[in-house]
Amino acid sequence: MPEPKMSLRQGSKVWAEDRDLAWVAAEVLGFSGKRFQVVTASGKKVLAFPEKLFPRDGDEEDHGGVDDMTKLTYLNEAGVLYNLRRRYALNDIYTYTGSILIAVNPFTKLPHLYNIHMMEQYKGAPFGELSPHVFAVADASYRAMMNDGQSQSILVSGESGAGKTETTKLIMQYLTYVGGRAAGDDRTVEQQVLESNPLLEAFGNARTIRNDNSSRFGKFVEIQFDASGRISGAAIRTYLLERSRVVQITDPERNYHCFYQLCASGRDAEKYKLDHPSHFHYLNQSRTYELDGVSSVEEYMKTRRAMDIVGISEEDQEAIFRTLAAILHLGNIEFSPGKEHDSSVIKDQKSSFHMQMAANLLRCDEKLLLATLCTRSIQTREGIIVKALDCNAAVASRDALAKTVYARLFDWLVDKINRSVGQDLNSRVQIGVLDIYGFECFKDNSFEQFCINFANEKLQQHFNEHVFKMEQEEYSKEEINWSYIEFIDNQDVLDLIEKKPIGMVALLDEACMFPKSTHETFSTKLFQNFRAHPRLEKAKFSETDFTIAHYAGKVTYHTDTFLEKNRDYVVVEHCNLLSSSKCPFVAGLFPSLPVESLRSSYKFSSVATRFKQQLQALMETLKSTEPHYIRCVKPNSLNRPQKFENLSILHQLRCGGVLEAVRISLAGYPTRRTYSEFIDRFGLLAPELMDGSYNEKAMTEKILQKLKLENFQLGRTKVFLRAGQIGILDSRRAEILDNASKCIQHRFQTFIARRDFISTRAAASALQAYCRGCLARKAYAAKREAAAAISIQKYVRKWLLRCAYMKLCSAAIIIQSNIRGFSIRQRFLHAKKHKAATLIQARWKMRKVRLAFRHRQTSIIAIQCRWRQKLAKRELRKLKQEANETGALRLAKSKLEKQLEDLTWRLQLEKRLRVSHEESKLVEVSKFKKALESSKLELDAAKSATINECNKNAVLQNQLELSVKEKSALERELTGMAELRKENAFFKSSLDTLQKKNLALELELVKAQKDGSDSVEKLREIELMCSQLQQNVKSLEEKLSVLEDENHVLRQKALTVSPKHNYPGFAKSLSEKYSGALVLPQTDQKPVFESPTPTKLIASFAHGFSESRQSKLTVERHQVNFEFLSSCIKEDSGFKDGKPLAACIIYKCLLHWHAFESERTAIFNFIIEGINDVLKAGDEKVTLPYWLSNASALLCLLQRNLRSNDFLTTTQRSAGSSGLISRVGHGLKSPFKYIGGFDDGFSHVEARYPAILFKQQLTACVEKIFGLIRDNLKKELSPLLSLCIQAPKAARVHAGKSSRSPGGVPQQPPTSQWDNIIKFLDSLMSQLRGNHVPSFFIRKLITQVFSFINISLFNSLLLRRECCTFSNGEYVKSGLAELEKWIVSATQEFAGTSWHELNYIRQAVGFLVIHQKRKKSLDEIRQDLCPALTVRQIYRISTMYWDDKYGTQSVSNEVVAQMREIVSKDNQNLTSNSFLLDDDLSIPFSTEDIDIAIPAIDPSDIELPAFLSEYPCAQFLLQHH
């Protein structure tokens, strides 16, 4: 695919050829003769010719690739290859080439690309607006079918393993989603078609050199639609089955899978006398019998299950596998020459066994089977002539029978599948999906590859015509002249193959008709007829092989087996034999032949000719439809994700015609740029034009004319450049940028040099001043030091002399004082000792005298006591003698008492004297002891002085010994210190390692603490969520209990309906329909209560009741009441003081008419039907807000003032209470009554069955009105948002006036598109507030509107790459700022949490407009920039982002790799992992929420409108007023 030459210079970015990678990025270093020296990205330097180099745009490498190949700056094969590679690395597996979709198999699950949300995004979206996707192609085909009424076709091609089947499945899945089903079948058409895949693969797929499961037939699935666009049926058409594979295969290929499955089936194989495949001729021509990772037994079971699903009976299944076994046995029949000339017979017993088995399995006569194989019957005028066949002819007959049986069996299976799926014969439009084998080029190519490549040549021609047509449509759309564009066609190859009478197919058929022809004669004739044909060449090392130059490359074919594989005889004897089979299945495969065909015994049938006819039929089918193309690509042969093999993919792109489409584009205008893009890139080539005086088209034309370019075309919105012209523009642009960069460098270097000079001069001056200062300070310091030294010397000498004198003086004084002290102490000690001895002697002598005195005194007292005792005893005896006399005794007693007292007193006195004496003795003893102790102390002091002198001598001796020991110890310590130093060094190294480990552990600890804190925060959030959920559950339980109580009442009433009554139907007139519907209780009657009927029977029951019991006057009054309510509902009653009059009037009427008491009434149904009719007929913008206000007010009145069965419907609420007291009902026991409950100013009314049902219907009505308003708002808002997601093309200004740096002029304010949204919101607010809609509903509506804005903008941002730009981010951010201002002005009462609803789009846009994305880590992005976004969403934005303003880059490759790893893990763990946001369609409130939020309404103070005052039934309202 050569591209016109461009001017290459040093530094040019190019693509260079590489043996291993096909193409590599390189840069031109210089010139070497006619060749360029380039350096590749790996640093390798090579020489290359200019025609072997393709230009490369270096700016595209920073992006994640373009979504459309036509957007590439340089459209060439290397650019296409590496664009696919870049997108595949980001899991962007789909890429457009114009209208062609290229799908690269990811070999991993990407469920987020194929869920319901993604299908909803592509539904109805214009083709090319969103990111490339298979759904976009499917939607484009469906929309074209519905809009144009023309059938469509989607051609899915690619080699096996490229994902064709999966792509086909996705197409049918989307068509099922968008088209739905017309029939109520349990299985979708898509499921039924896909369930037939295992069966078709078993009988139509085989192993080839490149793939273990290659389809050997083409499949065309027609999805049929009815007039309304719903799927009504499907049909499978098969084409070009490779019949020759049944009888002939080459190593290492295999036959069809079904044969190997049958041989491994176990019991079935034994029943059919089958063995290992190596024992059968049709299978052992190749030594490959098993496939890696595939179990033939399991595949056999899958095939049987598929047959069950399709609906094939057990008998037919048995017949199918019996037929397959018969084919295998047929292949083992061998022949040997017979006795007659050119005859043949069964070779041996083994062949006879296989002949017998084949006949038994086919249920035909063995002899007839042998006759049909070995003979031929020729019909002549004279009669039938039987001709014997030689061995070769018999083998050919055997193979022809096997191929015919297998082909008809395959056709029967396809027909059975179509009958199972179900076809719509009345369908006028359909979408066909073609899944056919791709171009094949092996080392050894035979007849099969010739036919397959012939088919691909046909399809390629159709593809080229379509691509050229699309190019023409593009040119016509842009209104440019394209008449001279040449169409690249491959008609010459097709003529070479199929043209009559001398095409290759015709020559092959002619050779096959002659029995003596060989492949040598065929090759010779071929070269004779096409000797000068440019597309046909003779192989170099073979006389019979030939080479055809196909669109995808040259392919060499071996003709050895061409003739054998092309011969396919339809033998009449074979058909007659099998049509007479006793097996109904086999006989059904061979219906009776017409009479004309019986005249010839056999008819030659060319496989190539039949192939050509089927191909022609397929092409006619495709030409009758509008085609769409999907090219599937297999990225590697290992079936592994994220592995991209350049050479293999380049080959597939060539075979798939993608590069051919590129060639077609190159033949015209391969480079197309919008005028704004062209001016952005090349406006600097003519800066004088950028002053704003020219429009973009004129500026583009002047720039091209300035460069003297020709043959370009200026369209309506784009400029079209011929191949190579973009290179010239880029070269000129690079030169200007180089000159500008040199100028900038020169200026910058001058600035740096001047700045360095000034700084050096300032530094030199500062250094000189500093040096002078240092020298002066040093001289001053020297003089100061000399003076100080002299002064110091003087004072030091003085101090030394004074110190010596003072030392000498103090020594003398010390010596004198010591001598004097010593002599005085000696004298004092002597005197002290003398005094102490004298005192001791005196004390001792005194003690001896005192002891002698005391001894003598004691002895005297003892003698006196003894004597007195003796005298007392004598006196006692006398007294005893005188005791006989009383008087004597008394006297004696008194005397004795006196004596006793005297003795007692004396004794006490003596005791006191003795005690005092003892105390004096103790005092003297203590004094003696103290004197003795002091003497001992003085003695001890003298002794201690002596001992001290001895001790000093001993201490000196010990110190001497210790010094010797310390010397030896110090020596030992020195040796120990050396060892300690060594240990210290070791410990230091250990300490370093420990510090490093400690540092690592500290980092891990910090990280763990951080993770722990994050986990704690998440747990807190979860706890908050759990508490909220518990509150919600509690509230829901309370609501459920309330509903259960009401339903209990309803069920009781419904179950007690009397079956004896026969209710007539409703009448047509209003009076007949509603007369007697309201049964009012009379004061003079006893209330009669019966079980209520269902709502639809209430009116008819009341009608019958009224006819029998009510008067005509009552009926007329009821009719007037209904007319009054109808007028109140249909007319706008307005508001008074913010209260909706219609709701208050209806409530007061129902209350006045006692409707809540009645158990049979249709008035409630009448009100609900009236409201629904008004909603349908009126202007939605007016009626919906009006009735949202009235219906909610009426619901609040019912909710607050009705109760069921003696329990109020609402509780008396206390602070913080939000629940409802459960209401229970066990049957209605009391009539209508008022219950005194005046907390809220109104009486609570007991509700009956119709009233409870009416409240439920009114609740549903409020929710319906709210949903309609919300849906209408979304419909009106959607087109406005589609214009706001992308910045409009602003007028260009002069390059010098516009800032191209991050610190330049800020983004311009938003255009009228955002103003339209603000106006829309203002209009919405005015409508709602004008109808006095409660702020609760306004807040909910505004919140949901902003949630929808968030979802729409965010999803569009993720699906459209042109929106993920820096400038677009600034544009959307400025628009969001306007929305924020509106929210602030709307106040919290009406806006609520609307600003928080924009969280996703705010964070996404904020991420787009930051400049340092490449420096941000994944944690910073997730935690700081985009905490609300998932990793998948951040990954999507990061890979689609491109800076169209400043040229900054997206996040780093490391962050992209981290996100890709997380996303791949999420693909395996998450059930739903879409990166799109879901729209919440639920109603965000309940009846209790309305009751809590809306303030109380007083219906008493109302003013009746004039148009209602004329009704007599409304007079009570005027009286109350």
Active-site positions read 160-161, 165, 211, 214-215, 438, 440
DSSP string for 259-274: HHHHHTSTHHHHHTT-
Residues 6+ apart with CB under 8 A from 586: 319, 323, 362, 363, 364, 578
The residue type of 1520 is H
Cα–Cα distance for residue pair 83/659, rounded to 1 Å: 13
* β 713-714/205-206 pair status: unpaired
For residues 1433 and 1459, what is the distance between their CA atoms, to the nearest angstrom? 10
Q: Measured between alpha carbons, how far is 1490 from 1207 in angstroms, rounded to an integer?
A: 20
Q: Which two tokens stand for residue 1260?
A: 């549903």
Torsion over CA: 1038, 1040, 1044, 1047 (sign) = positive
1513, two tokens: 């039934």
Q: How far apart are CA 584 and CA 592, in angstroms?
A: 13
CB 64 within 8 A of CB 86: yes
Q: Greatest CA span in the chain, whole angstroms?
A: 209
Cα–Cα dist 77/411, whole Å: 41
HEC letters along 357-423: HHHHHHCCCHHHHHHHHHEEEEECCCCEEEEECCHHHHHHHHHHHHHHHHHHHHHHHHHHHHHHHCC
Unique residue bearing structure tokens 């005690």: 915
Query: Are 224 and 231 within 8 A, CB to CB?
Result: yes
Please choose, from the candidates 332, 318, 319, the residue with its C-alpha nearest in 3D space to the C-alpha of residue 402: 332
Which tokens is 335 given? 């022949």
- For the chain, the C-alpha Rg in angstroms (whole number) is 58
- To which H or E segment does residue 659 belong? helix 658-667
C-alpha closest to that of 1156 among 1083, 1253, 1224, 1229: 1253
Residue closest to 116 by CA, chosen among 1497, 1454, 1056, 1478: 1478
Closest residue by Cα to residue 205 from 194, 195, 218:
218
> N- to C-terminal Cα distance for the chain?
92
* Kind of pairing between the strands at 546-550 and 553-557: antiparallel
Q: Write the single-letter amino acid at 1474.
A: S
Give pairs for 1378-1384: CB < 8 Å, separation 24+. 1378/1310, 1378/1314, 1378/1315, 1378/1318, 1379/1314, 1379/1317, 1379/1318, 1379/1346, 1379/1349, 1382/1318, 1382/1321, 1382/1322, 1383/1346
- Residue 1481 near residue 1332 (C-beta atoms within 8 A): no
The encoded tokens of residue 451 equal 């036919």
Are 257 and 202 spatial neighbours (Cβ–Cβ below 8 Å)? Answer: yes
CA dist list (Å): 41 to 44, 61, 82, 86? 7, 12, 14, 16
The type of residue at 890 is R
* Distance in angstroms (rounded) separating the CA atoms of residues 854 and 847: 10
Q: Do residues 1147 and 1251 lie in contact, with contact meaning Cβ atoms separated by under 8 Å? A: no
